[in-house]
Amino acid sequence: MFRVRVNKIESTRDLDGNLGKRIELVEERGFSPFVVRPPSEEAKMAQDVLQALQQQMPFLQQRTQLTIPKILLFLTEQEYDSLGIDFDVNQVFEVSLENQGIKFKKMT
């Protein structure tokens, strides 16, 4: 089992011209919470300066989640409706692969 987050949903057409959706799911993995301190005094000072900048300018903060492309779904409107899942951007699912099938479980 693994967790994915809906990263992007786009309207698209298949080769026959049928309207559908392209759904991009990315895997979520967290970074280790342990901070590694550099051995040299110069490296420690550079890390401290970077941390101070990140506190002052939030857009410089490191992401706490690492996202890795995992699944791309290309579904016609009919296939999307048959699947019975309403995907929304940033929604998280637990995915299990078993018995030659894929199962999505919405996380709350």
**Higher confidence at residue 12 or residue 58?**
12
Dump pLDDT digits (tens) for 55-85.
Answer: 777 665 555 455 568 999 999 999 999 999 9
Q: Tell me the backbone φ, ψ of residue 73, rounded to 5 degrees.
A: -110, 130
pTM of the complete model beyond 0.85 = no
* pLDDT at residue 48, rounded to an integer: 83
Dump pLDDT digits (tens) for 26-59.
Answer: 998 765 555 566 678 888 888 788 778 777 776 6
How does 40-75 read in b/e, with b if 16+ C-beta sit within 10 Å?
A: eeeeeeeeeeeeeeeeeeeeeeeeeeeeeebeebeb
Helical residues (DSSP H) of 1-108, grouped into ranges: 41-56, 77-83
